[in-house]
Amino acid sequence: MSKSLVIVESPSKAKTIGKILGKDFQVKASVGHIRDLPRNKLGVNVRKDFEPLYEILPDKITTVEELREAAKNADQVFLAPDPDREGEAIAWHLSEVLDVPKKRLHRIAFNEITKDAVLAAMKKPRSIDKSLVDAQQARRVLDRLVGYKISPLLWRKVNGRSAGRVQSVAVRLICEREAEIEEFDPKEYWNIKAELTKPRSKTPFLAPLATWKGKRVISASDKGTATSLVIENQKLAKQIVKATEKEDFTVTSVTQKSSQRSPLPPFITSTMQRDAATRIGYAVKKTMQVAQSLYEGVELGSEGPVGLITYMRTDSTRVSDEAQGEALEYIKTRYGKQYCPDKPRVYKRKGKNVQDAHEAIRPSSPERTPESIKDYLSKDQLKLYKLIWERFMASQMSSAEILTRTVEITAGDAVFRASASEAKFAGFTIVYNNGAQSAADVTEESPGEGEEKEEEQLKLPELTKGEVLKIKEVQSEQHFTQPPPRFNEASMVKTLEELGIGRPSTYSATVNTIVDRKYVEKQVKTLVPTKLGKAVNLLLVEHFGSIVDVGFTAQMELDLDKIEEDKVNWRQMLKAFYLPFGETLKKAEENMNKVVIVSDQLCPTCGKKMLIRSSRFGQFLGCEDYPECKTKIALTRDGDPVPEDRPTDEMCKTCASPMVIRYGRYGDYLACSQETCTEKRPILKLTGVVCQREGCGGQIVEKKSRRGKMFYGCSNYSQNQCGSAYWYPPLLSGGPDGGNSCPTCHSMLIYKTLKRGDQIACSAKECSFSQLISGKEVHA
């Protein structure tokens, strides 16, 4: 009896689903898209109603042949890519190339890769949703038209890399923010605080100045009114301080206010990316990679592979009744009935382009706590899973109850105000405290400008109306308004989402693309436009204003959503776009002037300025006097001129000539100084520890894994002569015997930095020796 075939995108997803379905099913992976528009031509027949000319990707020809063979021998074929536009498009492309009769071909989709979800989907197969496919096709063709028509023009006029529909808008936002920063004119202002105590107390508290002569004191960045006052200079600040120091500080008002703080909704793609950036320091790309691995399945011992979270590309905060019921039952059992809200929470997002096809990002089971499965997860997986689990569980819990006490203290014409809050009932905060600002919130508030808001402190002494307080000091402090902050990845994602630009599946790719194309660079985690980025943006804004217009791009996203909902014909939508676009393109070709980007370097040959130019191999510096002067200087990945060869003490093992440090495609490496000798080898970062493997003679050096993670291995590791490798640095000296050998088994000792404290431990897995370090001098 022939087996049924299930096709998914990734091998790890195939492995998880294969174990769920059992031996009667064969599960194979397409490894992403199998067809796309051709890479070396437009691939869209505009005259034939924008017909896409798809072709099988060169590296997928073998995969397609294998899938065709498997499908030919299968009883039934189930297409199970991800439940979104891209997944539906992959399913459709598979159906087009597999040559399987429709009655044997089925589409299944699930929001989580668990046994119940997969088996339920198998019982309810459906046909391919052509509206979803058309929305994906429209986006792909639209992006190809913009990229292929504008990019050649940019190559000729500015030596740019290329243009993208969404990426160009992101570059524009970053360039406009940079212009705001450069043009910002800081304004001076002062704030005043009184440091006070009760008459017989030694514990002071701070009370900021709230009003002066009946006017509310504000910062220079706040919007002023007739009843507000900005302390604009030191002279006025000193006058107020001098006047208030002579007065009695009398409590004139004591108020208490109870309030509730509600939990945040469960994660959607953008909020997960932002919170991961803030709380665990993950870049957007890393967050999505780790989330993908949690979704596709992790081996949980005897339980086998299990998808730990729901689908991670979503902009819906909806939670299924079943998942909500499980969460509330867990909360009731673990924390108590008082931590369950009176009625289940329902979160609804507002916005024209919010999709509700998927659930929010949540754990597939509340019972799988981070603590219970930590032994099966990598460090990165555990951190992100913990964040998702805690956010979801908190979203289903009771509100926190907060008591805020506010006191007003009068001193002549001045009124000082101090507040303090305390939790009367912790509620959801026992699991996840959303009091901390998200990365986007922090970056969208200028440094120093949060101080003028009414300050809250942890504790206030018990005060009564009419009580006269003891003044310790009245302080005045100078401030200047700050420019708007640069975007970082988190705030960029937040802005794109708020403006309706892109979809959850595109946020990560958008940021990565504009960095890879050298339009933007990262400086201390902020996004800064390069000279190339600014030049390209100026041209696009001038000649393709509508294409890089925020409102136009957001409307295109809404149109794509309407195609998905079968309300708009995708070919008609492309036609409406292309006709005016063609006219704009024609005018740009006639009117766009060539732009040169001048570097800070001078030509070493003729002394003239060097210009930043581009080729298919990347950017380089070329003399402005070309072709008379043909001097070129290669650039490193960071955009700096490639350094000259640097001498070393190393000798070539082939010809005994001196070795030099040379810059190459992947950075610095060692090369022989003789042009006729081809010997080269990586630069080793020595630890000073000799490999203990008998007969090896190598050195323990710093290395990087394929994923960029640091580890320590033998210098003979790359030649496959020695397999010694450790995740922690080896101990140079300072062990129990003063050296670096384990007192139990004599293996090498390593230095571990752990939350519970640093320790030295044996590198041998079978040895349990470890010792906490307490003031002892060790050398790693």
Q: Establish whether the linkage from the previous residue to 729 is cis, with ω within 30° of 0.
A: no
- Count CA atoms closer than 13 A to 147's CA, side-chain side: 19
H or E segment to which residue 236 belongs: helix 234-245
Task: Decide if 669 is catalytic.
Answer: no
Phi, psi of 455 (to 5 degrees): -80, 140
Do residues 108 and 72 make contact, with C-beta atoms less than 8 angstroms apart?
Answer: no
| Terminal CA-CA length for the chain | 62
Q: Which residue has the tokens 């200087």?
A: 633
User: Pick from 2, 3, 4, 6: which is nearest to 78 by CA?
Assistant: 6
Q: CA 227 to CA 640: how far, in whole Å?
A: 54
CA angle 456–461–463, rounded 5-degree value:
105
Q: CA 109 to CA 122: how far, in whole Å?
A: 9
Q: CA 555 to CA 573: how far, in whole Å?
A: 11
User: If 0-12 CB within 10 Å is exposed, 13-18 middle and 19+ buried, where does residue 46 land?
Assistant: middle
Amino acid identity of 409?
I
3-state secondary structure of 525: coil
- Count CA atoms closer than 13 A to 103's CA, side-chain side: 0
249 CB-near residues (< 8 Å, 6+ apart): 194, 196, 409, 410, 411, 416, 468, 469, 470, 471
Q: CA 615 to CA 594: how far, in whole Å?
A: 16
3-state secondary structure of 209: strand
9 CB-near residues (< 8 Å, 6+ apart): 29, 30, 31, 32, 81, 82, 87, 90
Q: Which long-range contacts (CB under 8 A, 24 or more apart) does 699-707 make?
A: 700/724, 700/726, 700/730, 700/748
DSSP state of 695: T
125 CB-near residues (< 8 Å, 6+ apart): 78, 106, 107, 108
Torsion angle of C-alpha atoms 768, 774, 776, 780, degrees rounded to 10: 60
Q: What is the sign, positive or negative, of the torsion defined by CA atoms of 288, 293, 295, 300?
A: negative
Measure CA 120 to chain center.
33
List Cα–Cα distances, 529 to 156, 439, 533, 595, in angstroms: 21, 20, 5, 17
- Which one from 295, 311, 335, 712 is the annotated catalytic residue? 311
DSSP letters for 346-376: ------TT---SSPPB-BS-TTS-HHHHGGG
Do residues 331 and 133 make contact, with C-beta atoms less than 8 angstroms apart?
Answer: no
CA angle 776–779–780, rounded 5-degree value:
125
3-state secondary structure of 596: coil
Active site residues: 311
